[in-house]
Amino acid sequence: MVKVWRLGLMSYDTAFKIQMAIARKHLDSMIKGIDADYDTLLIVEHKPVYTVGIRDDTPKDEINRLKELGAEFRKTNRGGLITFHGPGQLVAYPIINLKHYKTSVKWYVYNLEQTIINLCDELGVKASRSPHTGVWIEDNKVAAIGIHASRYVTSHGISLNCDNDLSWFEHIVPCGIEDKGVTSLTNETGLKCSIETITPLFLKNFEKVFECKIEDVPSDYQEDILSNIYSNLLTSTS
């Protein structure tokens, strides 16, 4: 069972803290030998932010240039290079233990891609893989993937351009891939593909591809995670 937590519009930093708190639950239960299921799928829409992965070497003046555009800039521990997240883009962070599925990161990434390919097919759009990670519509990327896995517990995830402002991508080389573009579901279908419209399709296809059941996250689970984050904040500032 995968718990779906819809976070709404949220800063990258806050969503990252929630990711790490859930991943910590996974790892602590493994260390203690407790058979607990903390598999969670976070659905979020970010305020404008450029993020980079562990291989990043973006110079300081470039970081400052991007910040002057009105976006945040964050270095992360995921794979992949630079990308952008912002309003109108659906971001999904599966915080799951691959031991509940298949202990293969390659399999995991393949299934994330397949989830989006199937979703696009429902919309009448032909999407595919390429030698580059992610999901593409011809030479334009519609979904980017950057993940981290520790003891087969995943974090970070996938971002799907639904109805977002693509001009933010003009200031970077998305994912470090030259001579390729980006697109959105709205561009490809000619219809307004809001996050509210696309999220149910994403969840349905995630459930099918990963062969799992999903449920809305219980309120007590949310309170427990947020309480842990708050306690850690108090500890770090005391």
Q: Which of 208, 177, 3, 19 is nearest to 83 (CA)?
A: 177
**Coil, strand or helix at 146:** strand
89-95 and 214-216: which strand pairing?
unpaired
By annotation, the residues acting in catalysis are 175
How far apart are the C-alpha atoms of 198 and 188, rounded to whole Å?
A: 14
Q: 44 near 7, Cβ under 8 Å?
A: yes
Q: 86 near 71, Cβ under 8 Å?
A: yes
Binding site membership: which residues?
A: 78-85, 144-146, 157-159
140-150 and 2-10: which strand pairing?
unpaired
Q: Which of 153, 174, 135 is nearest to 50 (CA)?
A: 174
**Residue 96 CA from chain centroid, whole number:** 13
Binding site membership for substrate: which residues?
A: 78-85, 144-146, 157-159
